[in-house]
Chain A
Amino acid sequence: MSIGVTLQLETDVLIIGGGMAAGWAAIAAAQGGARVIIADKGYMGTSGVTAMGGPNHWWIGPDKARREEAIARQSEKAQGLGDPEWMARILDLTWRTLPSLAPHYPFGSDGAGGTYYSGVRGSEYMRAMRLAALEAGVTVLDHHPALELLRDDEGRVAGARGHALRARQDWEIRSHATILATGGNAFRSGLIGSHTNTGDGQLMAAEAGVALSGMEFGPSWSISPAWASTRTLPYTGAVYYDADGRELDIPPSRAAGHAHHRALGHAMLAGPVMADLSHAPEALRPILRHIQPFTPAPFERRGIDLFRDRFPVKLFGEGTIRGTGGLDLADDECRTSAPGLFAIGDAATRELVAGASSGGGAVNSAWALSSGRIAGTAAARESLARKGASAPVHGLGRIAIAPHQADRAIDAAAIHRAVDHEIHGYAHVFTRDEASYAASGERLAAIWGELSAHGRARGAALVSLRETAALVAGARWTIAAARGRKESRGLHQRADHPEATGPTHRQLVSGLDTIRINTQQAEFA
């Protein structure tokens, strides 16, 4: 990596990732007087799951009683693992901040003479975030994936190295504060917009010694046509049939949750499952394309009337995007345990606001916005206080960069299939028990061992191989954390421990070659 570095930059705040959390962090840091660089693996505006989505934000006006009621409801969903103080902060920050995007985002009507703020369409939202960041003076580097963090001789994270895909050159950016906003890990499930969500930030932070929390709360799933993941708006009223036209007994999603997905997954093991949307709300049909213009395309381009014709469906795993797991935070300004390194959005744990329930949806969006604002403000302050400081640095990346044995070709496609099987295999993921977790963990450990010993690449090939490593690491943390929590709670459901038995504890998972589990009593239970 160190040879052939041709692009060298220096900044106050480096943000790795270009989704909504990155955007809000960048704007906040720039407003705090810092020079800010965003280095995104894709293109800031289209990359990540938000651009294809439609994030609704947790949205309660500044009425004390209504906010307390919302926090109480969310705390109940969080099942003893949420932090009401964090919830109050993100409610307040989201309410005050989101409307500031109005110069760049065409907020629609609320139907009552006012403006509808809480739900935004992803493609316009991310276009607006890019424009707002550029207007604030942020430097945006597209197609600049980061590969490893840098640490200086004082022990602080001091920037990152990566590869510029279009220019085909390595880069090194020195910074006084670094924010990981690389999103969650979708384990290459094919979930809409998630191809870049391979958990790169979690891998880089783990190499800096940072632990993760909440990794056991998943998986979550979204249903879509078998040939294309879409948003799920039209499917909530679906009726499901087998290939012979017999209606399947699928408990509805709201009441059943886990049982809904288990029934669908097991039916899909037996053969194609067909969805019938003819019961979908009448009001939806004429306006679907105006709400979600991407959703009709996969049907129209196949000549299918989605509200009349039956079509095969598949469950797309949502990984840690709708799970809650991510990098553990050491303080209320989104610092990690590694000095100089912050984590925000889906790269960070959502356990603080989602607890054991899904981090997906409105609470998660409010978290992304708020954690971005909080970390951006703190990183600007911290970096400006350190202006001028400069110590020698070294790269922290090891996997695929510095293998400890001879180089050997790595079959990345086979590894991706193996990760897919362990995380998404319908035959075992809905009925997990100790033996099943142990077997998954052993298979993934063997893959990690091979990668760790022999994997090495450079340039764009290194970007891909690091993604592969991050997928495996994320899968191992997920399995280890789920195995460690010997109960069922929220999204974490085990066949051998079907009840929430407590005590209510948080679980940290850490390490790469050897994975460790630590538990701590939740302070908010």
Chain B
Amino acid sequence: MIAQILADKCNNCAQCVNVCPTFVLDDGPHVPVVARLDACQTCYMCELYCDQDAIYVAPDQFAVEPGADPLPHLGVIRRDHGWDRPGEAGHLDEYRKLGPLLGAGVEIAARRYQAQRRSV
């Protein structure tokens, strides 16, 4: 669930209030306010759309987690997406491998299971 909006990075543009699919945030005087945490689905969309890298979403979607250091994680999801790069930058060039890699995992599991059955 969304854990922190860092006041020293946030410029209060309210983009996170706009884009949150479950309307967790309200406008605030200095930074947006987490008003409905119980509606947060831990989808990271607020982080992805925050061009100041000012938001940290904690990974547990069922419980509030205390005390993690957000700094190493700020902006990582955004950079991994290549979210701000132009359309021709090729950052989705690996995407075609998704299906084959899913299939490769399924094959690995099936072969391993077969081999174990034979050895029993």
Contact = CB atoms under 8 A, between A and B. Distances in A.
B66 interface: no
Contact of B87 (A106, A110, A143, A232): A106
B108 A237 contact: yes
Contacts of A395: none
Contacts of B11: none
Contact of A108 (B43, B68, B96, B107): B96
Contacts of A251: 113
Contacts of B60: 227-228
A403 B99 CA distance: 49
Among B45, B83, B90, B106: residue with most chain A CB under 10 A: B45
B9 interface: no
Given A109-B96, A142-B18, A294-B44, A237 B105 contact: yes
Contacts of A298: 42, 59
Interface stretch (A70-78, A283-291, A476-484): A283-291
Interface residues of A, number: 69
Contact of A287 (B94, B104, B112): B94
B98 A56 contact: yes
B68 A47 contact: no
Given A42-B22, A279-B112, A283-B101, A301 B92 contact: no
Majority SS at the chain A contact face = loop
B8 interface: no
Contacts of A121: 81, 92, 95
Interface residues of chain B: helix, strand, loop or mixed (majority): helix
Contact of A54 (B90, B98, B105, B108): B98
A227 B106 CA distance: 23
Nearest to A52: B43
B20 A43 contact: yes
Contact of A143 (B23, B62, B83, B95): B23
A110 B88 CA distance: 14
Contacts of A47: 21-22
A116 B23 contact: no
B118 interface: no
Interface string A192-218: 111110000000000000000000000
A107 B86 CA distance: 11
Given A46-B43, A283-B97, A290-B91, 16 more contacts: A104-B87, A107-B92, A108-B92, A108-B94, A111-B96, A121-B92, A193-B41, A195-B21, A196-B22, A228-B42, A233-B101, A279-B109, A287-B97, A293-B81, A294-B43, A296-B80
Interface of B: 17-23, 39, 41-45, 48-49, 57-63, 68, 73, 76-77, 80-83, 85-99, 101-110, 112-113
Nearest 8 pairs between A and B by C-beta?
Answer: A236-B105, A42-B21, A108-B92, A293-B80, A237-B105, A47-B21, A195-B41, A237-B108
26 contacts: A42-B20, A43-B18, A46-B49, A52-B43, A52-B45, A106-B91, A107-B92, A110-B96, A116-B96, A123-B81, A143-B23, A195-B41, A228-B60, A233-B98, A233-B102, A235-B105, A238-B105, A280-B108, A281-B105, A283-B97, A284-B104, A287-B97, A291-B101, A292-B98, A293-B77, A293-B80
